[in-house]
Chains A and B, each alone.
Chain A
Amino acid sequence: MADTAPRWAFARTTAFRVTLLHLALTLAGTALVGGVAWWVTAGFAVRQAGQEVERGMGVLLQAGALSGARGIALSIEARLAADRTGQEYYLLAAPDGQRLAGNLSGVSSERGWREGSIRLPDGTDAPVLMYAQPLPGGGALVVGRDLTAARALEQRLLTGAGWVGGAVLLLGLAGGLLIGRSVARRAAAMDAALAAVQGGDLDRRLPARPGGDEFDRLATRINATLDRLQALMAALREVTDDIAHDLRTPLTRLRQRLDDAARAPTAAAIGAAQAEADRLLEIFAALLRIAQVESGTQRAGFTAVDLSAIAESVAEVYAPAAEERGQTLATAIEPGITTTGDPALLTQMLANLVENAIRHGRPGGRVSLAVGADGIVVADDGPGIPEAEREKVFRRFHRLDASRSTPGSGLGLALVRAVADLHGIGIVLEDAAPGLRARLALPRTA
């Protein structure tokens, strides 16, 4: 609940504003429908009355043309006698304004349409539509039609429209209120969760129902982003710890070598200290490179890369190194395998993998490098890596206990993983029985 939000906070919500707009449009639509209804009913009745007035006027004027005022009076008498419903009104006025015939009195005889109210014998007033026409010899003729029925219909339409409009307004407002409050409540819940995350509670997640509405989808997306953020924070902490721990060792060694050199400044002692400093610089360079690759900024410079050519080149470079260890470097490289990426990084990734296989492979054994449409496979027949350790070797500074004594910074595979991730290459380590097999799956779009 919006416990922190003011009571009328929903009025400022988007949902409420959308509801108001929707309401206005619905009312306009209702008004349009009402207008059309009036046009075809009450409006029609009024128009019909008008036509009847015109027709009556025409007939009477004709009678007047044939037999003068007398003819008109006779016609009026005849028509009034025939009008059983009492809807027709006439007035034939003499030039001095005196009524010569008809049932109207006290109306203007100026030419034109007008609508008036006639006091009926029973004391009620009836609306009447009239047309007045001055006559050639002076005097005037007025013809009218009762509009009671049309006006009543109009009244009923208006009443109905009022009810409908009121109901629409009420329902819309109530709906808007409800939706607005619900949206405000959910937004407040999301806001509260995000505020908690911002405050440092990285485990906090937004409420999200699976397969829910757009709010749930948004919340799911934000939760995924928070997961990523949490993972990055964890990785950062891990890296910081690793660096603190793993740099202390070479720094301590450097310190010892310098102590040695201070006691006996021989070229060998100074050289040893220099070598230790170089190693530290190398570690820093490798760490920075991994961090840079992980930041993903290289993607801008991606080009089409011939993986087959890179693999051939790497194999050529490392074949003598393998031979020195009595190993054979067997290649099965399909020509023309390409991907999109950074050639320098991909070269280093392959080189690191091959180097790793040579270094950890069995002396006198076999190292293989295969490149095909399915991807890249690098395998050795050394001791391999226990299954539980296979994911961990990609972490910075992670070194298997067995290989602690051999040279290497524990950053080679971390860089491999970073480069693979950057290029969308999936990498898995498998048991080659015996040995280790690294399998790299190229992205499909390549």
Chain B
Amino acid sequence: MPDAPTRPLGDGGTVRILLVEDDAETAAYVARGLEEAGHIVDRAADGQDGLFLATGGGHEVMVVDRMLPKLDGLSMVRAVRAAGIATPVIFLTARTGVGDRVEGLEAGGDDYLAKPFAFAELLARINALARRPPLQQEVTVLRVADLEMDLIRRSVTRAGRRIDLQPREFRLLEYLMRREGQVVTRTMLLEGVWDFHFDPKTSVVETHISRLRGKVDKGFGQELLHTVRGAGYVIRADG
């Protein structure tokens, strides 16, 4: 991975992001990070401005704090959705409430991130949402280099050789392959593959990845499953 230090998370492409956050320091920190990653950030410090900018359109992802002055984040997103704007939304919250996540998703949010969060986590999730394929586009076969996954026959082959996977390993690989070239964090995997909405102390994700790697990469010339230090994992053909 020669490019890892310079573009640790850069999976290419500029995303236009609306950031609605009232805490100036957090907003500056997030905006700086996103801009460094090559994205364009519009900022709003309260829900009303946020709604105004959001209805202006042109954003690919919105990052919205839940606690906002004038108009709280939930209401803002409800209003945005009511206006027929389907731009993906990530909620940020200082609350660790278990029910809050569901509440956020019900209000029209697409993802949910509790403060404090690692910046890499937010970036990975923004990238995942910005690149989400349209739902109607139903794929039956996923391909990364010579790795092929048949979603109908539930079979995986690499270079024509069959690879036997446990059901959960299959889901893990499918999750990664659907996001080819995107960094996927531990937390995203825990939520998306195992439906774990907390952070286990044991390194369960690492263990599962290393086993999957043993089956998918071991014995083949090219490595497909890469670890991105401090961020997560990515599956991609080029090194």
Contact = CB atoms under 8 A, between A and B. Distances in A.
Interface of A: 281-282, 285, 288-289, 292-293, 297-298, 300-301, 313, 316-318, 320-321, 324, 342, 344-345, 347-348, 351, 355, 358-359, 407-408, 412
Contacts of B102: 301
A281 B121 CA distance: 15
Interface in B88-129: 96-99, 102, 114, 116
Interface in B5-38: none
Interface string B187-202: 0000000111111111
B98 A345 contact: yes
A344 B168 contact: no
A324 B207 CA distance: 8
Q: Is chain B's binding surface mostly helix, strand, loop or mixed? A: loop
Interface residues of B, number: 23
Contacts of B196: 317, 347-348, 351
Given A285-B114, A344-B197, A351-B198, A318 B204 contact: yes
Contact of A298 (B99, B116, B194): B99
Given A316-B168, A344-B197, A347-B196, A292 B203 contact: no
A430 B95 CA distance: 36
A347 B195 CA distance: 9
A281 B196 CA distance: 19
B218 interface: no
B202 A321 contact: yes
A282 B98 contact: no
Contacts of B114: 285
A407 B96 contact: no
B70 interface: no
B97 A282 contact: no
Contacts, number: 64
B213 to A, nearest CB: 12
B204 A412 contact: no
B132 interface: no
14 contacts: A288-B96, A298-B98, A301-B102, A317-B196, A320-B211, A321-B204, A342-B98, A344-B198, A347-B198, A348-B197, A355-B202, A359-B202, A408-B201, A412-B201
Given A317-B208, A321-B203, 13 more contacts: A281-B116, A282-B199, A289-B96, A297-B99, A300-B99, A316-B168, A316-B194, A318-B204, A320-B204, A320-B211, A347-B198, A351-B198, A355-B201
Contact of A407 (B98, B194, B201): B201
Interface in B141-176: 166, 168
A160 to B, nearest CB: 74
A251 B168 CA distance: 39
Contact of A351 (B98, B99, B200): B200
Contacts of A342: 98
Given A347-B195, A358-B202, A320 B98 contact: no
A318 B229 CA distance: 23
Given A285-B114, A316-B168, A321-B207, A301 B99 contact: yes
Contacts of A282: 199
